Structure 1
Amino acid sequence: MRIVVGSGKGGTGKTFLSVNLFSFFEEQGMKVSFADCDVEEPNADLFLKGIEKNAESVYQNLPVIDTEACTFCGKCHEYCAFNAIMFIGDLKYINVSSDLCHDCGACLYSCKFDAISETKKELGKVKVLQSDNGNIIVEGLTNIGVYSGVRVIKSAVKQLENQGVEILDAPPGTSCPFVTTTSYADYVILVTEPTWFGLNDLKLAVDVVKGMKKPFGVVINRAGDGEDPVSEYLREEGIDLLAKIPFDRRIATWYSEGKIPVLESSDLHRTFYSIQQKLGL
């Protein structure tokens, strides 16, 4: 089973839930692997330790236009669906934007004058670690200045062993990186907080997950005794509430010390056991 943990915004406790779920399953003796797909700012390695087994760079191909061979016909510009080729025929000007290029190869196909070749651009790195229990932990990290982590996310997910339970810590928000990660899910856990701001972003994430026809449930983090518009929304929409994690100073303290709270608290342990049961694992 592949579980994607996401959120409509950053700071709700998405990585907190992912890391604790992985550690809880490990403690149960389950075969479990973890992929940090929050590739712009991965931080699961602050909590999950292991021996590095492999590391590799992720590349994309970029077209290089030979202006000596180019006839400035503009065909490559016409074929590019992403507006990555800037072309002014009258001025005989043509240039490629590496930020907009999607490595689709259409420009190479369109050119009949062998004026286009390719070079490689490094987008980021993926490393694979093995935990003390023999389970796989994967981290993807995009290079500074890379505008999209989608290709790095795909490379990270490929490193998983497709055995047992796989937990994917998705990027925050609802843009392409989140959609890419969610596309791999058998089940999605959305983490939110019991505030109106949290509810607004949760609704955005719910719309995306429903549109992708993925089964999902919600965990409310930092739950307290105050106003809770999220619970009311879940009841009205018939959305599964998997758990409420309390607003507890002890949890924050353990987490700030790099500890795994589910391994420190019997109450939290019971909460994660309840999540496990609701997931049917």
Structure 2
Amino acid sequence: MKIAVASGKGGTGKTLVSTNLFNVVQKSGIAVELIDCDAEEPNDQPFIGGRLDDEEMVTQNIPSIDKAKCTFCGKCQEYCNYNAIIILPKLQHIQVIEDLCHDCGACSYACRVGAITEKTKTIGTITRYELDNGCALIESQIEIGVYSSVPLINQAIKSSQENQLAILDAPPGTSCPFIATVSAADFVILVTEPTPFGMNDLKLSVDTLIHLDKPFGVIINRAGLGDNRVYDYLKENNIPLLSEIPFDRKIAKTYSEGQLISDTMPEYDDHFHQLFTTIKNQLQND
């Protein structure tokens, strides 16, 4: 089973939820992995720790075009669905926009004169941290300047153990990295806050998950901070409210110190155990 923890915007509490959910599950003796899919800014490891077990460089193949062999026929540009090739036949100019390349190989297939070869580009790393009980944290981290983290996220999820529970800490927003993460999940926890910004971005996330046909529920973090519009929206649309985490200075202080509230505040150990039970029951009922 894979559970994704996601949100339509940053700063709602995804890391708070994913790290504490992982913590209570692994302490209960269940084999579980936490996969930090926020490759642009991974931050689960300071909370979880663990010993460095493995580090894998993730690479991507980028086309390299030999202008001496190229006939400037335009077939490679025609086959590229990502607009990663610019060609100006009259000027005898052709160029690959590496940031837009998705390593699909279509251009190499299209070229009939052998003008296209491939070079390797490092796009990021996947680091595995082992805990003493056999559970693990898998962290994806993109290289500076790399345009898309999707290949890295896909590889991080793929590197997890088969037939094992995995918690996916998704990137914020509803763009391609978000979709790459939640598409692999059996259930999605959406974390929001009772504010106008939280409400707006929750709607975007909900619409995306409905389109993907993914089961989901909502956690309201910083409950008591804003108004009731988020609660009304959930009720009107029959969206499950999984739990609430109050707007509490003690929680903020604990989090800012790199500690887990499920370790320092016993009531949250029970809170996240109940959250896990609720999700399991909902999946079984579906």
| TM more than 0.5 | yes
> Whole-Å Cα distance in 2 between the matches of residues 192 and 72 of structure 1?
51
Larger mean CA deviation between 78-87 and 169-178 belongs to 78-87
> Do residues 241 (structure 1) and 245 (structure 2) align?
no
> Could you tell me which residue of structure 2 aligns to residue 164 of structure 1?
164
> Whole-Å Cα distance in 2 between the matches of residues 108 and 62 of structure 1?
10
Cα shift readout 1:98-123 (whole Å, capped 9, x = no counterpart):
01111111111111111111101111
Q: Runs of 5+ in structure 2 lacking a partner?
A: 282-286
> Could you tell me which residue of structure 2 aligns to residue 113 of structure 1?
113
Give the superposition deviation at 1:269.
Answer: 2.2
Identity of aligned residues (%): 51
Report if aligned partners of 1:136, 1:160 keep a CA contact under 8 Å in 2.
no
Report if aligned partners of 2:195, 2:225 keep a CA contact under 8 Å in 1.
no
Report if aligned partners of 1:194, 1:229 keep a CA contact under 8 Å in 2.
yes
> Do residues 258 (structure 1) and 251 (structure 2) align?
no
> Could you tell me which residue of structure 1 aligns to residue 219 of structure 2?
219
> Do residues 30 (structure 1) and 30 (structure 2) align?
yes
Larger mean CA deviation between 14-23 and 254-263 belongs to 254-263
> Whole-Å Cα distance in 1 between the matches of residues 159 and 218 of structure 2?
27
> Could you tell me which residue of structure 1 aligns to residue 184 of structure 2?
184
> Whole-Å Cα distance in 1 between the matches of residues 48 and 19 of structure 2?
7
> Do residues 74 (structure 1) and 70 (structure 2) align?
no
Distance 1:231 1:58, change over 3 A: same
> Could you tell me which residue of structure 2 aligns to residue 272 of structure 1?
272
Report if aligned partners of 1:31, 1:163 keep a CA contact under 8 Å in 2.
no
Larger mean CA deviation between 70-79 and 43-52 belongs to 70-79
> Could you tell me which residue of structure 2 aligns to residue 201 of structure 1?
201
Larger mean CA deviation between 93-102 and 74-83 belongs to 74-83
Distance 1:62 1:164, change over 3 A: closer
Q: Which amino acid aligns with 1:255?
A: Y
TM-score, normalising length: structure 1: 0.97
Cα shift readout 1:40-70 (whole Å, capped 9, x = no counterpart):
1000011011111111111111111111111
Q: Superposition pairs for residues 34-53 of structure 1, below 5 Å?
A: 34-53=34-53
C-alpha RMSD over aligned residues: 1.2
> Whole-Å Cα distance in 1 between the matches of residues 279 and 246 of structure 2?
20
> Whole-Å Cα distance in 2 between the matches of residues 140 and 122 of structure 1?
13
Give the superposition deviation at 1:226.
Answer: 4.8
Give the superposition deviation at 1:225.
Answer: 6.5
Give the superposition deviation at 1:195.
Answer: 0.8
> Whole-Å Cα distance in 1 between the matches of residues 31 and 96 of structure 2?
46
Cα shift readout 1:156-192 (whole Å, capped 9, x = no counterpart):
0112112332100000000000001011111000000
> Could you tell me which residue of structure 1 aligns to residue 7 of structure 2?
7
Give the superposition deviation at 1:232.
Answer: 1.2
3-state DSSP of counterpart to 1:35: strand
Give the superposition deviation at 1:28.
Answer: 1.4
Report if aligned partners of 1:63, 1:118 keep a CA contact under 8 Å in 2.
yes
3-state DSSP of counterpart to 1:258: coil
Cα shift readout 1:118-148 (whole Å, capped 9, x = no counterpart):
1011110101110122102100000011111
Report if aligned partners of 2:225, 2:247 keep a CA contact under 8 Å in 1.
no
3-state DSSP of counterpart to 1:280: helix
Larger mean CA deviation between 161-170 and 237-246 belongs to 161-170
Moved over 4 A (4+): none
> Could you tell me which residue of structure 2 aligns to residue 98 of structure 1?
98
Report if aligned partners of 1:37, 1:153 keep a CA contact under 8 Å in 2.
yes
Distance 1:225 1:63, change over 3 A: closer
Distance 1:226 1:124, change over 3 A: closer
Q: Which amino acid aligns with 1:78?
A: E
